[in-house]
């Protein structure tokens, strides 16, 4: 038995919790010693319960203090700080070479329609649609802005992937996507660097690369922000086809973002503008209390 070698726990009666135990147990029943030990024990017990109760109250007070802090984007500030810390930790650990699992195309399913913010324009005309991209311009310089038609995007190298779309609500669906990697787009149109140099490889970004990318719908009702690391990941697509068909209006035609590195909330539909920046872009759901990073 494992306990055979364990020395017995203190068995000596004590007259006070901190005093040294008396040399040995009295051989005969010693009523006075017993009474003293019990008095000391109840004093010690009372003290322990008081301290435990006080610590409990202090914890409750700390909790209430936390909740009383001013809110930052729908969250008490200390909570927001921890979420941002978690996000930074994730970004530090991030590696471009770690890929989301890909699945057999036959496993792709119909994707639930789950959000219409930014799709509300009555007279939206997909044929007249243009993607506006604002290049990265350090403070004080005028940004280069360029507009693209869908055809200009479709002639860029096409990438297909069958990945798991994960909604922040907790459900997930395997979907087959087709589009242009954002990093491939930036090879053709080097708008993410201040110098206008192309990003050859997302794993080794140049020093003058923007830190963030912000994207909005044409009506600016929906907007997301991504840190540049996720944006340049090889599975981040400017997507125009879903499960073999051109995107439908409700899934973001003519062009949407797809990235298995992020929850569905970052898969902005009906892209209007893309801007490369040094300032963390606004994010629709992050302003409503969600994690800005929302990344995998």
Partner 1 sequence: MKVVVEKHPLAIRWFHWVNFPVLSLMIWSGMWIYWANDVYRIGWGSTTLFKFFPQSFYEAFHLEHQLAQGMAWHFVLMWMFFVNGVLYVLYTAFSGEWRYLLPTRHSFREAVLVTLHDLGLYKKPLPVRKFNGAQQIAYTSVVLMGLGSVLTGLAIYKPVQLGWLTQLLGGYEMARVIHFALTVGYVLFFVIHISQVVRAGWNNFRAMVAGFEIEEVDPATHAVLAGPTALPAADASLSPAPQA
The DSSP code sequence of 101-152 is ----GGG--PPPP---TT---TT--GGG--EEEEPP--TTSPPPEEEE-HHH
Look at residues 230, 234, 98 and name the one whose alpha carbon lies nearest to residue 157: 234
* Residue 164 sits in the site that holds partner 1 (CB under 8 A): yes
Nearer to partner 1, 275 or 283 (CB): 283
Contact 195, 57 (CB under 8 A): no
As measured in angstroms, the least distance from the Cβ of 127 to partner 1 is 36
Binding flags for partner 1, 232-271, as an x/- string (CB under 8 A): ----------------------------xx----------
* Residue 4 sits in the site that holds partner 1 (CB under 8 A): yes
* Residue 12 sits in the site that holds partner 1 (CB under 8 A): yes
Nearer to partner 1, 195 or 203 (CB): 203
Q: Which residue has the tokens 């319960």?
A: 49
Contact 19, 36 (CB under 8 A): no
* Residue 45 sits in the site that holds partner 1 (CB under 8 A): yes
The DSSP code sequence of 154-202 is HTSPPEEEEEEEE-TTS-EEEEEEEEEEHHHHHHHS--SBSS------T
| Stretch touching partner 1 by CB under 8 A, among 32-40, 121-129, 193-201, 212-220 | 32-40
Nearer to partner 1, 6 or 127 (CB): 6
As measured in angstroms, the least distance from the Cβ of 36 to partner 1 is 11
Helix (H, G, I), strand (E, B) or coil at 68: helix
Which secondary-structure segment (H or E) carries 272? none
d(CA 289, CA 292): 9
Q: Which residue has the tokens 């969600």?
A: 290
Contact 199, 253 (CB under 8 A): no
Nearer to partner 1, 27 or 128 (CB): 27
Nearer to partner 1, 92 or 122 (CB): 92
Q: Which residue has the tokens 């017995």?
A: 8
* Residue 36 sits in the site that holds partner 1 (CB under 8 A): no
* Residue 10 sits in the site that holds partner 1 (CB under 8 A): yes
Residues counted in the chain = 296
* Residue 29 sits in the site that holds partner 1 (CB under 8 A): yes
Nearer to partner 1, 168 or 188 (CB): 168
Q: Interaction with partner 1 in 72-111: which residues (CB under 8 A)? A: 74-75, 78-80, 82-83, 86, 90, 93-95, 98-101
Q: Write out the residues near partner 1 by the rule CB under 8 A.
A: 1-4, 6, 8-14, 25-31, 33-34, 37-38, 40-41, 44-45, 47-49, 52, 55-56, 59, 74-75, 78-80, 82-83, 86, 90, 93-95, 98-101, 164, 166-172, 260-261, 285, 288-291, 295-296
């Amino acid at each position: 038995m494992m306990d055979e070698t364990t020395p017995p726990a203190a068995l000596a009666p004590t007259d006070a919790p901190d005093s040294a135990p008396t040399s040995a147990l009295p051989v005969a029943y010693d009523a006075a010693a017993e009474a003293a030990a019990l008095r000391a024990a109840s004093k010690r017990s009372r003290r322990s319960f008081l301290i435990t109760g006080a610590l409990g109250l202090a914890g409750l007070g700390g909790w209430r203090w936390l909740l009383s802090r001013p809110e930052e984007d729908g969250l008490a500030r200390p909570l927001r700080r921890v979420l941002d810390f978690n996000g930074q930790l994730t970004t530090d650990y991030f590696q471009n070479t770690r890929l989301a699992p890909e699945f057999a195309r036959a496993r792709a399913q119909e994707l639930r329609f789950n959000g219409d913010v930014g799709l509300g324009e009555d007279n939206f005309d997909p044929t007249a649609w243009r993607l506006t991209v604002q290049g990265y311009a350090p403070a004080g310089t005028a940004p280069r802005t360029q507009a693209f038609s869908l055809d200009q995007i479709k002639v860029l190298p096409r990438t297909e992937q069958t990945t798991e779309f994960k909604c922040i609500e907790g459900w997930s669906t395997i979907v087959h996507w087709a589009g242009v990697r954002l990093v491939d787009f930036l090879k053709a149109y080097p708008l993410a660097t201040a110098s206008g140099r192309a990003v050859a490889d997302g794993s080794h970004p140049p020093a003058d690369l923007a830190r963030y990318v912000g994207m909005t719908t044409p009506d600016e009702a929906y907007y997301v922000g991504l840190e540049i690391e996720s944006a340049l990941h090889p599975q981040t697509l400017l997507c125009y086809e879903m499960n073999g068909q051109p995107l439908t209006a409700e899934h973001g035609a003519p062009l949407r973002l797809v990235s298995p590195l992020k929850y569905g909330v970052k898969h902005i539909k009906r892209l209007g503008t893309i801007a490369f920046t040094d300032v963390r872009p606004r994010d629709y759901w992050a302003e409503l209390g969600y994690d800005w990073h929302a990344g995998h």
